[in-house]
Amino acid sequence: MSCGIALVVSLLLSDPNVALAAAQPPAPASAPVSVAAEPLFADIVTRSGALKGVVQGWIDSGVMNQADFAASPAFTGFKALAADLAARDMQGHLILKERGTDGDLKCILRGISEDMPKKVEAVATAATPAARRVALEDLAYLLNDNVEVITAPPQPEV
């Protein structure tokens, strides 16, 4: 068993929202259904919105200009929350993949789960406040995308 599969299994077993979302019946082919109201996806939206608010607060207040920002307890805690969100995005991807539905959302969630740690690392390693601001703005954009792709009305496949 590869490490990736072991991680996925442990994540699936650790969150009741994942089991609940996976138990949802597959959508009929003729009518695309939004997953936004399902517990896991609603949770992703809530967490993404909250983290985007934190990032925007750092940008607006100028806290991100402090030399020790990346070592601060606030940023350290944020990194853990962002890693958890990325794992939940991957869970959403795997659920949609298992259902065989919504190819675009499935792929976007996987991309977000892979990009989130990179964006957080870019903030942590930014050499100047200006570079940190750009990295935080990119992160805020990704977090906003996470909300919008889940809450957007589903479109029929072409």
Domains held by the chain: number: 1
In a domain, 31, yes or no: no
In a domain, 56, yes or no: yes
More confident residue, 71 or 11: 71
In a domain, 12, yes or no: no
Give the mean model confidence (pLDDT) for residues 143-149. Answer: 96
Residue 24 has pLDDT above 60, yes or no: yes
Give the mean model confidence (pLDDT) for residues 37-66. Answer: 96
**Sequence-distant (≥ 6) Cβ neighbours of residue 59 within 8 angstroms:** 133, 136, 137, 140
Q: Alpha-carbon distance 66 to 128, whole Å?
A: 10
In a domain, 3, yes or no: no
In a domain, 113, yes or no: yes
- pLDDT band of residue 21 (cuts 50, 70, 90) is low
Asked if residues 132 and 123 have their Cβ atoms less than 8 Å apart, the reply is yes
* Max CA separation in the chain (angstroms): 55
| pLDDT single digits (tens) 80-98 | 999 999 999 999 999 999 9
In a domain, 84, yes or no: yes
In a domain, 9, yes or no: no
In a domain, 16, yes or no: no
* Domain limits for position 46: 39-149
Asked if residues 47 and 88 have their Cβ atoms less than 8 Å apart, the reply is yes
The token duo for 38 is 């399902």
Tell me the pTM: 0.78
